[in-house]
Amino acid sequence: RAKAEGRGLARGFEPEMDLALRERRALQQDLATAISRNEMFLHWMPQANTQTGEIVGFEALLRWKHPTRGVVSPAVFIPVAEGTAAIVPIGEWVLRRACQDAAGWIKPGKVAVNLSPVQFQHGDIVELVHGILVETGLPAPRLELEITEGVLLDNLSSALHTLRRLKALGVQIAMDDFGTGYSSLSYLQSFPFDRIKIDASFIRQLSTSPQAKAIVRAVVALGESLNMPITAEGVETLEQRAFLAELNCEEIQGYLVGRPSPVVSFDGSMTRARAFASR
Ligand code: C2E
Ligand code: MG
Ligand code: MG
Ligand code: MG
């Protein structure tokens, strides 16, 4: 009986697995030519000072306009690109385009760029970052590289070595999606991050979960004592912002400040500051 069920399961699942696999292969193939066909572009998401509402910088978020599928989410295609060599030229394209754009902004705000763990294993990311800073003329302190703990999971000592060399260039290093992984606290001990970004999942639950509140409070206090300023991700409401302002969480990012947009605007600052002040 078990055998028959087993076969039944296999029959039921195989076509689906084939489909997922074929789907993945198709995306992989299209990703290989996405850059040369000009299908990639950036959206910019503002980051604000929690107290004043002043916009202090923008995070570059990658978008892919697929010829037949429309705009594909990075949550879908980045993991696929990471499974092939495609992530390397794509990551390089993002870095170069983001730095070029930022070098021309009307205010010298911070430009945050996400790095994939794979970019740490292939080629010399330090050489690449250095070359792009020279090429674009962007001052190193304006560039903030966002890494997730995936970077540190594989080979901790080589990752730390690379991070130290990046820091020596003068760029900032932020720990992204903090609180969602396994041993984040030990990473904070091994490397002096310039910033910690608390994951949006905790912010989302602030109003409903006393636990989330306690965790956010503790992470902000931890960042303060480790001299690592905090950015809260996924801030959508004035209530969330008020709680974070009270804790002295330095920066906020999320729909309350602004949605990802193809254009950068520092103008939100005044209206935003007023909106904050009036509540
Ligand atoms: P992330 O770096 O944690 O970026 C934040 C994501 O949360 C973005 O989604 C952003 O649009 C979304 N978000 C921010 N605030 C809010 C909010 O208040 N409400 C809601 N509902 N969503 C919010 P996005 O653009 O889809 O990016 C997803 C992930 O894809 C990023 O997470 C990042 O891990 C990855 N990614 C994006 N661009 C790149 C890139 O250039 N290179 C690499 N390696 N990864 C990238
Ligand atoms: Mg990020
Ligand atoms: Mg994040
Ligand atoms: Mg993320």
pLDDT, one tens digit per residue, over 98-126 is 999 999 999 999 999 999 999 988 889 99
For residue 10, pLDDT beyond 90: no
Q: Looking at residue 277, what is its pLDDT?
A: 54
Inter-residue contact 61 to 97 (CB < 8 Å): no
Per the CB < 8 A criterion, the answer to whether 24 and 17 are in contact is: no
Verify whether ligand 1 is closer than 6 Å to residue 4 (CB atom): no
Q: What are phi and psi of 205, to 5 degrees?
A: -95, 5
- Kindly report the pTM of this predicted structure: 0.92
* pLDDT of residue 36 exceeding 50: yes
CA of 5 to the centre of ligand 1 (A): 41
User: Residue 250 carries which side chain, given as an amino acid letter?
Assistant: E
Average pLDDT over residues 22-35: 93
- The answer for residues whose C-beta is within 8 angstroms of residue 107's C-beta and 6 or more apart is 266
Do β-strands 195-198 and 251-253 pair in parallel, antiparallel, or remain unpaired?
unpaired
Ligand 2 centre to CA of 82 (Å) is 16
pLDDT-above-70 percentage for the chain? 90
Could you tell me if the CB of 231 is within 6 A of ligand 1? no
User: CB of 193 within 8 A of CB of 228?
Assistant: yes
Say if residue 12's pLDDT is above 60: no
Is residue 199 in contact with ligand 1, taking CB distance under 6 Å?
A: no
Predicted pLDDT of residue 183: 67
Confidence of residue 232 (pLDDT cuts 50, 70, 90): very high
Q: Answer yes or no: is the ipTM higher than 0.90.
A: yes
The helix or strand, by DSSP H or E, that contains position 196, with its residue range, turns out to be strand 195-198
Q: What's the confidence (pLDDT) of residue 19?
A: 77
Average pLDDT over residues 165-173: 98
| Mean pLDDT, all residues of the chain | 91
How many CB atoms within 10 Å of residue 46? 24
From the alpha carbon of 82, which atom of ligand 1 is closest? 44
- For the ranges 13-27, 142-156, 163-177, 218-232, which has the lowest average pLDDT? 13-27
What is the distance in A from the centroid of ligand 3 to the CA of 7?
Answer: 42
For range 69-90, the mean pLDDT:
94
